[in-house]
Amino acid sequence: MAQRCILASGSPRRREILAHLGLEFEVVVSDADERTGETDPARLSEELSVRKGHAVRDLLAAHGEDVAGKLLIASDTTVFCGGEILGKPRDAADARRMLSMLSGRRHEVVSGIWLCRDGLEAVSHAVTSVEFAPLTDSEITSYIASGEPFGKAGAYAIQGLASSFIRGIDGDYFNVVGLPVNRMCDLYRSTFGGELVLRGE
């Protein structure tokens, strides 16, 4: 029997990934406070994933929603480059700063993943290394003008126009998109037993 899920995120990219996996899910957007003083990207991604998950779990409980047997999924993605955590750009100038920093360099994308079912919860994270080709000023300007950098950690979407910037990747591609699929499935297996994604006969 397929595992029914609740995705604690409004991210269209995470929705697309779960849909491609064939999972049955509903979306409940988290209103968790994401302000934190944490500077380690792995701890940060896990902390924010837990916060988002707890916020949605508490919201559902407050509304008397029956979540028995349902898997709650929360995730948070961070880009780490040159000792700095790059979140979502505030404006075009911030996007330019981030893209200029990533240009011609290797950086890490860290995504936390939190799962909870029937009161049992677990959290982990995945790390993917991404190398950007050198970017010209005109490439950065055009990319910012496309609007794609906004709302994305590190100011880029690997599955979009920024795919042309990628020289190499080491690790889970979907982690960079926003949901560490392999780590999520491993965490499900080790915590709840069985397979999250049914592969058919």
40 is catalytic: no
Q: What pLDDT is attached to residue 201?
A: 40
d(CA 82, CA 86): 10
Cβ pair 104, 43 in contact under 8 A: no
Give yes or no for residue 180 having a pLDDT over 50: yes
Q: Which of 31, 33, 40, 76 is catalytic?
A: 76
pLDDT of residue 104: 98
CB distance 192 to 120 below 8 Å: yes
CA distances from 100 to 51, 96, 124, 137, 141 (A): 31, 6, 30, 8, 11
Q: How confident is the model at residue 199 (pLDDT cuts 50, 70, 90)?
A: low
Per-residue pLDDT reduced to its tens digit, 52-73: 999 999 999 999 988 999 999 9
The pLDDT of residue 81 is above 90 = yes
The neighbouring-strand residues paired with 116 are 72, 121
Q: Are strands 4-7 and 24-27 parallel, antiparallel or unpaired?
A: parallel
How far is the CA of 72 from the CAs of 1, 19, 121, 127, in angstroms?
A: 17, 15, 9, 22
The H or E element spanning position 129 is strand 120-132
User: What mean pLDDT value characterizes the chain?
Assistant: 94
User: For 89-122, what is each residue's pLDDT tens digit?
Assistant: 999 999 999 999 999 999 999 999 999 999 999 9
Pairing of strands 71-81, 106-117: antiparallel
Q: Which residue has the higher pLDDT, 117 or 38?
A: 117
Show the domains of the chain with their CATH numbers. Answer: 4-192 (3.90.950.10)
- pLDDT one-digit tens code per residue, 3-26: 899 999 989 999 999 999 999 999
Write down the pLDDT at residue 25.
94
Cβ-contact 89, 95 below 8 angstroms = yes
Angle at which helices 92-102 and 137-146 cross, to 10°: 130
Classify 66 as helix, strand or coil. coil
Structure tokens at 159: 């599955």
